[in-house]
């Protein structure tokens, strides 16, 4: 980093001072490009006041916050105050509550602090949060607050913000996810290939999984190089002594990782969630969803020992630690690797052939029955132990009184255990507005939606000031989703009656049904979305809009802005591949968004006898599973075969020498993920084709085949060497055998 830039940043740090007389607390934040090295490689990131995470901002309830943002990036930015109640125009969502803060522009956020608790803040522009724009936001209680809890609110507190780092540019991460690129699985060792399945004694499980048209799935889909607590993989707070109690204000600023929290010094006491106090509850561990906050109190038990506070991402591919106390470090054991095939088996049992999920009458809700437990060796035992031993999936069970891991020793927090210290009931007699959303997704194409619609396909949802909004959410997708509502806390109807806990993020596991409710007491437009950044960017969003809101001075043209917002999460993803083989070039380019696909494939020989051939398709994915895609096409080919006439199996002929035709066709994904394509061409010819690429033989080896009614066929293998390179060999009825290198982007 340049010297003078640093001087500026440091000077700005000094200016960020508190003017307590007027109760205005002011921070200056300068956003700059920076270079970081978390993994041994230098990569671009974004720093605020020269640091990652962004500085911790602290206010006391009753203060007025004034946060001045200088954008020194070459791109626009924004800051969202996650979990805060504030005027809509200060909420920091570009194209929804303000215009983006353009390069070299300064923008001032100013709002009164009318709540307390642990919150955080982050950029709401694109994927900036992934590369550094997250920070803790601590709102202190006033000393005379009637809810001040002696022994909790007066403890020394440490802000803890969790995050992850990937060396791959987040835009590319997103692109690769959309293209079902399985590089992350290879890096994580979770390809779940046929040979892995055979080794684990789960061949039938894998077969059934593909029969039901599922790709190998993981609890998370991004490979991260490092996991961080307050920007470091390992750090120590040595100021604490034996007997000290410490309150950790934990925010999950990760872009897509849920984190398990464990502590080497004994149990943890959960005292708040999403900035709201809860009745203290002792647990051995808890999982913190993306963008959630939890306050936990831990004790330093012994002299001369520092105790590890361990954050482990849900996929358990790494961890981050902070040591509390000084002296020898008491470690916490690492969480054992997941039994993926047990998870796959469970998914198979719950997946219907039509791609919908069946909870088998278990009425799952509020994290109380964590189906993932079948994958946790520390609870469900060694991998060979089958789920059937614990519960017979065919029997409908009454799960109302116990949770699945109730008889285990490890106490894991779930939402059902959270209870507000005071009643949280909403205003009586207010009209109730009932809404229901089904969380939906298509893993194979990484489309995430609500009621099978992405933001770009829906209008804002109008709500009225003064009504109570009750939302039922059902997760019919294969992944969990941390759903976040801006500007409001909602009650989570978890069975605690009047004392239902208040949250602003609710994690919903597959097949769960959760109900939340809130008082509509604001004004303006509020985002409601999945906080997994890549799901949000895939369109899993809605906007709640108050009827008759007053105009937003920062956003003069709201209709135009909403169109911009919609397009932000329905962008086209580019993909390209070419196999440079001894017998020719084989490749394709593709441009796809949620519903549309534009693609061209080619097979180019090295001489006229082998010929040249291209096929272009423009298609639209239909249905929630997107198994069906009708398209229009254009084929062109040239080959010198001295007038030799080819016959297809229907007896139709074509010379193949030179042909340029339009076509109408459709593709359908069959069980085993085989693609059936039917096409009728303007010259009257008809062609059907079966094809599957990327059959995972081993972690890096893929098998492909194609056969069609023109009596053409192909089979080949590809060994994936790096993210962009594979070694391939294939046999093609037109071009014979070939070896080559496949480059893909």
Shorter beta-carbon distance to another protein: residue 327 or 678: 327
Binding residues among 262-291 for Cu ion as defined by CB under 5 A: 291
Is the Cα dihedral 507, 508, 514, 517 positive or negative? Answer: positive
Q: Is 535 in the site for Cu ion (CB under 5 A)?
A: no
Shorter beta-carbon distance to Cu ion: residue 291 or 442: 291
Shorter beta-carbon distance to another protein: residue 236 or 521: 236
Q: List the single partner that 7 binds among Cu ion, another protein, none, CB under 5 to 8 Å by kind.
A: another protein
Q: List the single partner that 264 binds among another protein, Cu ion, none, CB under 5 to 8 Å by kind.
A: another protein
Nearest to 77 by CA among 157, 150, 131, 14: 131
Q: List the single partner that 102 binds among Cu ion, another protein, none, CB under 5 to 8 Å by kind.
A: none
Which residues of this chain interact with another protein, rule CB under 8 A?
1-3, 6-7, 10, 236, 238-239, 264, 302, 304-305, 326-334
Shortest distance, position 592 Cβ to another protein, whole Å: 41
Cross-strand pairs, 735 = none
Binding residues among 152-171 for Cu ion as defined by CB under 5 A: none
Shortest distance, position 499 Cβ to another protein, whole Å: 35
Q: Measure the CA–CA gap between 450 and 437, rounded to whole angstroms.
A: 6
Q: List the single partner that 334 binds among another protein, Cu ion, none, CB under 5 to 8 Å by kind.
A: another protein
Nearest to 341 by CA among 446, 183, 199, 224: 199
Shortest distance, position 326 Cβ to another protein, whole Å: 4
Q: List the single partner that 371 binds among Cu ion, another protein, none, CB under 5 to 8 Å by kind.
A: none
Residues of the chain by 3-state class (helix, strand, coil), percent to 5 = 15, 40, 45
Shorter beta-carbon distance to Cu ion: residue 157 or 255: 255
Q: List the single partner that 82 binds among another protein, Cu ion, none, CB under 5 to 8 Å by kind.
A: Cu ion
The per-residue DSSP string of 649-713 comes to: TTS-EE--SEEEEEEEEEEEEPGGGPEEEEEEETTS-EEEEEEEEEEESSSSEEEEEEEETTS-E
Q: List the single partner that 236 binds among Cu ion, another protein, none, CB under 5 to 8 Å by kind.
A: another protein
Shorter beta-carbon distance to Cu ion: residue 82 or 656: 82
Shortest distance, position 163 Cβ to Cu ion, whole Å: 13
Shorter beta-carbon distance to another protein: residue 336 or 431: 336
Shortest distance, position 234 Cβ to another protein, whole Å: 9
Shorter beta-carbon distance to another protein: residue 9 or 184: 9
Q: List the single partner that 329 binds among Cu ion, another protein, none, CB under 5 to 8 Å by kind.
A: another protein
Shortest distance, position 96 Cβ to Cu ion, whole Å: 9
User: Does residue 366 contact residue 415 with C-beta atoms inside 8 Å?
Assistant: yes
Strands 646-647 and 675-681: unpaired
Q: Measure the CA–CA gap between 487 and 361, rounded to whole angstroms.
A: 35
Shorter beta-carbon distance to Cu ion: residue 193 or 252: 252
Q: List the single partner that 725 binds among Cu ion, another protein, none, CB under 5 to 8 Å by kind.
A: none
Q: List the single partner that 6 binds among another protein, Cu ion, none, CB under 5 to 8 Å by kind.
A: another protein
- Scanning 79-87, 148-156, 162-170, 248-256 for contacts with Cu ion by CB under 5 A, the matching segment is 79-87
- Nearest residue relative to Cu ion (C-beta): 82
Shortest distance, position 310 Cβ to another protein, whole Å: 10
**670 Cβ neighbours under 8 A, 6+ residues apart:** 213, 676, 690
Shortest distance, position 308 Cβ to another protein, whole Å: 9
Shorter beta-carbon distance to Cu ion: residue 82 or 213: 82
User: Does residue 276 contact residue 115 with C-beta atoms inside 8 Å?
Assistant: no
- Scanning 82-90, 101-109, 134-142, 735-743 for contacts with Cu ion by CB under 5 A, the matching segment is 82-90
Out of 72, 82, 656, 702, the only residue in the binding site for Cu ion (CB under 5 A) is: 82
CA dihedral 47, 53, 59, 65 (to 10 degrees): 30
Binding residues among 511-530 for Cu ion as defined by CB under 5 A: 527
Q: List the single partner that 250 binds among Cu ion, another protein, none, CB under 5 to 8 Å by kind.
A: none
Instruction: Count CB atoms within 10 A of the CB of residue 44.
Output: 11
Strands 268-273 and 276-283: antiparallel
Shortest distance, position 727 Cβ to another protein, whole Å: 24
Shortest distance, position 413 Cβ to another protein, whole Å: 19
Q: Measure the CA–CA gap between 273 and 257, rounded to whole angstroms.
A: 18
Shortest distance, position 56 Cβ to another protein, whole Å: 14
151 is written with which tokens?
Answer: 């022994």
End-to-end, the C-alpha distance of the chain in Å comes to 30
Cis omega before residue 7 (within 30°)? no
3-state secondary structure of 455: helix
Is the Cα dihedral 169, 171, 174, 175 positive or negative? Answer: negative
Query: 527 phi and psi, to 5 degrees?
Result: -75, 140
- Mapping DSSP onto H, E and C, the string for 200-259 reads CCCHHHHHHHHHCCCCCCCCCCCCCCEEEECCECEEEECCCCCCCEEEEEEEECCCCCCE
Shortest distance, position 303 Cβ to another protein, whole Å: 9
Instruction: Count CB atoms within 10 A of the CB of residue 617.
Output: 23
Q: Which residue has the tokens 């709002």?
A: 111
Binding residues among 100-139 for Cu ion as defined by CB under 5 A: none
Number of helices (H), then strands (E), belonging to the chain: the values are 10, 46
Shorter beta-carbon distance to another protein: residue 201 or 266: 266
Q: List the single partner that 391 binds among another protein, Cu ion, none, CB under 5 to 8 Å by kind.
A: none
**624 Cβ neighbours under 8 A, 6+ residues apart:** 355, 440, 442, 449, 452
Shorter beta-carbon distance to another protein: residue 160 or 463: 160
Shorter beta-carbon distance to Cu ion: residue 263 or 527: 527
Shortest distance, position 296 Cβ to another protein, whole Å: 19
- Scanning 74-82, 441-449, 547-555, 558-566 for contacts with Cu ion by CB under 5 A, the matching segment is 74-82
Nearest to 258 by CA among 250, 249, 267, 248: 250
Q: List the single partner that 328 binds among Cu ion, another protein, none, CB under 5 to 8 Å by kind.
A: another protein
Shortest distance, position 18 Cβ to another protein, whole Å: 17
431 is written with which tokens?
Answer: 């009209």
Q: List the single partner that 77 binds among another protein, Cu ion, none, CB under 5 to 8 Å by kind.
A: none
Shortest distance, position 107 Cβ to Cu ion, whole Å: 17
Query: 341 phi and psi, to 5 degrees?
Result: -70, -25
155 is written with which tokens?
Answer: 């403890």
97 is written with which tokens?
Answer: 């509550």
Interface ranges with Cu ion (CB under 5 A)? 82, 291, 527
């Amino acid at each position: 980093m340049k010297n003078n830039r640093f001087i500026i940043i440091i000077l700005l740090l000094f200016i960020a001072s508190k003017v307590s007389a007027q109760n205005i607390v002011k921070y200056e934040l300068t956003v700059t490009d920076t270079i970081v090295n978390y993994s041994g490689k230098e990569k671009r990131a974004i720093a605020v006041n020269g640091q990652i995470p962004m500085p911790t901002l602290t206010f006391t309830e009753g203060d007025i916050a004034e946060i001045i943002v200088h954008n020194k990036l070459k791109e626009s930015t924004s800051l969202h105050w996650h979990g805060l109640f504030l005027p809509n125009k200060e909420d920091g969502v570009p194209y929804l509550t303000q215009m983006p803060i353009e390069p070299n522009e300064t923008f001032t956020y100013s709002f009164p602090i009318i709540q307390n608790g642990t919150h955080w803040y982050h950029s709401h522009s694109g994927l900036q949060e992934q590369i550094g724009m997250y920070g803790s936001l601590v709102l202190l209680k006033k000393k005379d607050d009637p809810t001040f809890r002696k022994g909790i609110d007066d403890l020394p507190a440490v802000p803890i913000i969790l995050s992850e780092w990937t060396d791959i540019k987040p835009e590319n991460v997103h692109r690769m996810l959309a293209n079902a690129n399985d590089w992350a699985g290879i890096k994580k060792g979770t390809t779940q290939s046929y040979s892995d399945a055979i080794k684990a004694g789960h061949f039938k499980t894998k077969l059934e999984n593909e029969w039901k048209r599922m790709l190998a799935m993981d609890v998370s889909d991004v490979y991260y190089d490092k996991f961080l607590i307050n920007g470091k993989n390992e750090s120590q707070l040595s100021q604490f002594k034996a007997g000290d109690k410490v309150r950790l204000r934990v925010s999950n600023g990760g872009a897509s990782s849920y984190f398990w929290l464990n502590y080497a010094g004994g149990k943890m006491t959960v005292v708040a969630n999403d900035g709201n106090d809860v009745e203290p509850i002792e647990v051995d561990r808890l999982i913190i969803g993306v963008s959630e906050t939890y306050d936990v109190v831990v004790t330093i038990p012994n002299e001369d020992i520092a105790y590890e506070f361990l954050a482990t991402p849900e996929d358990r591919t790494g961890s981050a630690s902070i040591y509390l106390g000084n002296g020898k470090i008491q470690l916490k054991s690492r969480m054992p690797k997941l039994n993926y095939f047990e998870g796959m088996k469970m998914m198979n049992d719950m997946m219907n052939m039509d791609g919908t999920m069946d909870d088998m009458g278990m009425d799952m809700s509020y994290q109380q029955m964590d189906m993932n437990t079948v994958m946790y060796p520390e609870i469900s035992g060694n991998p060979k132990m089958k789920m059937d031993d614990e519960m017979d999936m065919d029997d409908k069970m009454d799960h109302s009184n116990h949770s699945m891991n109730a008889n285990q020793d490890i106490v894991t927090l779930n939402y059902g255990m959270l209870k507000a210290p005071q009643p949280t009931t909403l205003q009586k007699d207010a009209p109730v507005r009932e809404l229901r959303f089904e969380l939906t997704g298509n893993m194979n194409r990484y489309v995430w939606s609500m009621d099978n619609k992405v933001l770009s396909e829906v209008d804002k949802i109008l709500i009225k000031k003064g009504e109570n909004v009750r939302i039922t959410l059902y997760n019919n997708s294969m992944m969990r989703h941390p759903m976040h509502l801006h500007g409001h806390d909602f009650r989570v109807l978890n069975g605690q009656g009047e004392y239902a806990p208040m949250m602003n993020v609710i994690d919903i596991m597959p097949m769960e049904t959760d109900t939340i409710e809130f008082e509509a007491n604001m004004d303006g437009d509020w985002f409601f979305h999945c906080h997994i950044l890549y799901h949000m960017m895939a369109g899993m969003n809605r906007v709640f809009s108050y009827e008759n809101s007053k105009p937003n001075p920062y956003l003069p043209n709201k209709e135009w802005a909403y169109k911009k917002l919609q397009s932000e999460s329905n962008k086209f993803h580019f993909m390209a591949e070419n196999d440079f083989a001894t017998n020719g070039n084989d490749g394709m380019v593709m441009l796809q968004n949620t519903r549309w696909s534009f693609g061209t494939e080619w097979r180019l020989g090295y001489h006229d006898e082998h010929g040249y051939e291209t096929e272009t398709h423009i298609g639209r994915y239909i249905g929630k599973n997107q198994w069906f895609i009708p398209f229009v096409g254009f084929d062109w080919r040239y080959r010198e075969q001295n007038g030799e006439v080819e016959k297809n199996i229907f007896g139709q002929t074509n010379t193949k020498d030179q042909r340029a035709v339009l076509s109408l066709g459709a593709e359908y994904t069959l069980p085993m993920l085989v693609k059936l394509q039917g096409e009728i061409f303007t010259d009257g010819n008809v062609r059907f084709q079966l094809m599957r690429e990327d059959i995972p033989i081993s972690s890096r080896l893929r098998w492909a085949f194609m056969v069609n009614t023109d009596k053409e066929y192909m089979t080949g293998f590809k060994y994936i060497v790096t993210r962009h390179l594979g070694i391939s060999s294939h046999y093609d009825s037109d071009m014979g055998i070939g070896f080559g290198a496949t480059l893909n982007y």
